[in-house]
Amino acid sequence: GENVEQHPSTLSVQEGDSAVIKCTYSDSASNYFPWYKQELGKGPQLIIDIRSNVGEKKDQRIAVTLNKTAKHFSLHITETQPEDSAVYFCAAKEGNTPLVFGKGTRLSVIA
């Protein structure tokens, strides 16, 4: 089955700097890659996703890149703000299979 590795496990950045979180996946059949943000005591919130027919997608300060050949995808947050502090999870799936999550990255944005 699919296996998703995520790193780093923790990341601290100064407010205004960029943050990059990376994930790799094992199943070349996976074709959908979402990113979730989880704030303390809340459920995962979908923030951006990318499908395998696209290499990059951007939504304001957030972008995701996908390298199908290398089987890795990354989340980029620019101009970080304190409210970006949370745990971020990447995930992967193929077709109707369930999402397989990475272990999460705790992002701290220091004001």
Contacts with another protein by CB under 8 A lie at: 32, 34, 36, 42-46, 49, 51, 89, 91, 93, 95-104
Query: Is the sign of the CA dihedral 104, 101, 75, 37 positive or negative?
Result: negative
- The percent of the chain in helix, strand and coil, each rounded to the nearest 5, is 5, 55, 40
Whose Cβ is closer to another protein: residue 39's or residue 79's?
39
Residue with smaller CB distance to another protein, 78 or 108: 108
What minimum distance in Å lies between the beta carbon of 7 and another protein? Answer: 13
Residue 3 Cα to chain centre, angstroms: 15
Of 16 and 55, CB closest to another protein? 55
